[in-house]
Amino acid sequence: MKGVLLAGGTGSRLFPLTRITNKHLLPIGDRPMVSYAIENLAAAGITEVMVVTGGTHAGEFLRLLSNGREHGLDLLTYGYQERPGGIAEALGLAAHFADGEPVCVMLADNIFEYTIAPSVAAFAEQEVGARLLFAEIAQLEHLRHLGVPELDQSGRVTRIIEKPADPPSKYCVTGAYLYDPSVFEIIPTLVPSERGELEITDVNNHYVAAGQMSYDVIEGFWGDAGESIDAYYAVNDFVRHNGANHPTAS
């Protein structure tokens, strides 16, 4: 299984912190934000990773991460997204790198208290399809700004709704996605959204419609440090006091 780490975007929600740098290079605790996602992938046994980034600060990732050996990787390569075209478009740039293997995709601004290794291991047992990681969110207003799964009575995902006015569940879709190789056949069929981007929610709903979507509800803390200035500082405070990427929740 290959890892794809998405570290692009303009970082507008963290402006002016991102005026002169990529948001994924901002500090969380005692090191750059992107380091946590790479460490989480490595802890899950994924040692070949592509970082997809863009903008004028892309070269800083190479200076910071080099060949990835310090983070436990065997191979670290890079892809460049020429414009902010959405998460799904950025993932599509990794098709050649994946080379027919399944992929674990992580957004580099997502921080987990516990490693995603159990979900990666469970996905390895799947023959086809996708697997998502959900987090339980207590605040209704927060859910209205996230991707939220709708579940039937048996707990099966029936669809994923982006930023719902009336959230159909208490869970959100975190920024960790596991896909079989067919994801690279799905992405070229997508239609850009109203904001002109290829949306990862459309990819996920394709797997839902095919009956090929599984999920895990994570334990412990999850935070999107790129969601807002307040979220960035909340994630920072949590990591400074509790750390991140711990082996298990038990």
Q: Which two tokens stand for residue 179?
A: 């896909």
Give the C-alpha distances (Å, rounded to integers) separating 143 from 61, 137, 152, 164, 213: 31, 7, 18, 8, 21
CA distance 80 to 151: 36
Whole-angstrom distance between the N-terminal and C-terminal Cα of the chain?
26
Cα separation, 234 vs 127, in Å, equals 38
Mean per-residue pLDDT pooled into runs of 10, the chain (250 residues): 93 87 95 97 97 91 94 96 91 98 98 98 95 97 96 97 97 98 98 93 98 98 96 97 88
Residue closest to 213 by CA, chosen among 247, 241, 186, 195: 186
Dist. CA 155–CA 11, nearest whole Å:
35
pLDDT of residue 56: 85
Segments making up each domain of the chain, as ranges: 2-242
What is the C-alpha to C-alpha distance for residues 156 and 46, in angstroms, rounded to an integer? Answer: 28
Q: Which CATH architecture has domain 2-242?
A: Alpha-Beta Complex (3.90)
